Amino acid sequence: MMNSKPIGIFDSGIGGTSIWRVLTTLLPYENTIYLADSKNAPYGEKSSEKIIEFSIKNTELLIERGSKIIIVACNTATTNAIEVLRTKFDVPFIGIEPAIKPAAINTKTNNIGILATKGTLSSALFSKTSNKFAAHINVIEQEGKGIVELIENGKMDSNEMTLLLNKYLNPMVKQQIDYLVLGCTHYPYLIPQIKEIVGRDVKIIDSGLAVAKQTKSILEKKNLNITTQIIGKHQFYSNKNVSVLKNILADISLEYSVQNLDF
Ligand code: DGL
């Protein structure tokens, strides 16, 4: 039965697990298969051609393993590759983009900050979205250079991370942002640290819930949603450091496996 096939998810590394967490809360009976392409992280510093190549490779593997729908749980891969993926493969795709629209609509100071990778900020899709929704306000774009590497190396709570976050976020605070958009799926794990820097009055938004809701809606529309009410099973694969992936999932109480795989 197609309905019991897994939802395929990929990211340049472990960051997409932040999306997976929201997804499994909204769709607890769905099975999932997650690929962390940590060997090739960070995507954000690679050329668009390379990002497309990695995205195709990940998609092929997820389809080979029976995925009924694919979530590109990476802003950088979505903004650079989703159009190519949609042309090349028949399976439905859900992408993730920085949530500029809600920030631009709700800002009172007319200053919003966006922290994302170089690959996302320089993409045509990001420019299009930004021009469409935020042309009338001041958007402070900041590359999060180095952040993904630290998370992938298990240094989420390190002095290096505090230094980087201060360097990137303090100028935004000075310019009185009232919204901070997290445009990379690795960043939601840093929210407690980010709050310490930007203060309680700055609202932090990411696209996790929007992606989960969109996935639910597409599955229902295409009659692909699982029909049994048994808590889902989850397979995680990493092509680099399995222990970092295991650590980030350590608080999860669902049934899941983590394995090393060469892809
Ligand atoms: N999680 C990816 C994203 O959402 C990180 C990209 C990278 O590897 O640089 O953009």
74 Cα to the center of ligand 1, angstroms = 5
Percent with pLDDT over 70 in the chain: 100
44 Cα to the center of ligand 1, angstroms = 6
The beta strands (E) that lie in 65-161 are given as: 69-72, 93-94, 111-116, 138-143
pLDDT for 130 equals 96
The 3-state DSSP class for residue 102 equals helix
15 lines ligand 1 (CB under 6 A): yes
186 lines ligand 1 (CB under 6 A): yes
Encode pLDDT of 53-67 as tens digits: 999 999 999 999 999
Check pLDDT > 80 for residue 1.
no
Encode pLDDT of 181-207 as tens digits: 999 999 999 999 999 999 999 999 999
Domains 2-96+208-260 and 100-205 share a fold: yes
User: What number does the ligand 1 atom closest to the CA of 16 have?
Assistant: 1
Check pLDDT > 80 for residue 13.
yes
pLDDT band at 241 (very low <50, low <70, confident <90, very high): confident
Please tell me the distance from the alpha carbon of residue 140 to that of residue 123, in angstroms, as a whole number. Answer: 16
Encode pLDDT of 80-113 as tens digits: 999 999 999 999 999 999 999 999 999 999 999 9
* 5, 136, 239, 257 from 260: Cα distances, Å: 21, 47, 6, 10
38-77 burial, b if ≥16 CB within 10 A, otherwise e?
Answer: bebbbbbbbebeebbebbeebbebbeeeebbbbbbbbbbb
CATH code that applies to domain 2-96+208-260: 3.40.50.1860
Please tell me the distance from the alpha carbon of residue 221 to that of residue 171, in angstroms, as a whole number. Answer: 44
Catalytically annotated residue among 74, 165, 169, 219: 74
Residue 11 DSSP symbol: E
- Considering only CA atoms, which of 143, 135, 139, 120 is closest in space to residue 43? 120
Alpha carbon 79 to its chain centroid, in Å, reads 11
HSE-up of residue 184 (Cα within 13 Å, Cβ side): 33
Please tell me the distance from the alpha carbon of residue 161 to that of residue 157, in angstroms, as a whole number. Answer: 7
12 lines ligand 1 (CB under 6 A): yes
Ranking 1-5, 220-224, 231-235 by mean pLDDT, the lowest is 1-5
User: What number does the ligand 1 atom closest to the CA of 76 have?
Assistant: 10
Give the start-to-end residue ranges of the domains of the chain.
2-96+208-260, 100-205
31 Cα to the center of ligand 1, angstroms = 24
Would you say 180 and 194 are in contact if contact means Cβ atoms under 8 Å apart?
yes
Is beta strand 256-260 parallel, antiparallel or unpaired with respect to 203-205?
A: unpaired
42 lines ligand 1 (CB under 6 A): yes
Which H or E run includes 181? strand 179-183
User: What number does the ligand 1 atom closest to the CA of 118 have?
Assistant: 9
The residue nearest atom 2 of ligand 1, judged by CA position, is: 74
Check pLDDT > 80 for residue 52.
yes
pTM of the model: 0.97
| Catalytic annotation present for 74 | yes
45 Cα to the center of ligand 1, angstroms = 9
Q: How far apart are the first and last CA of the chain?
A: 27
Structurally, at CATH architecture level, domain 100-205 sits in 3-Layer(aba) Sandwich (3.40)
Please tell me the distance from the alpha carbon of residue 260 to that of residue 106, in angstroms, as a whole number. Answer: 43
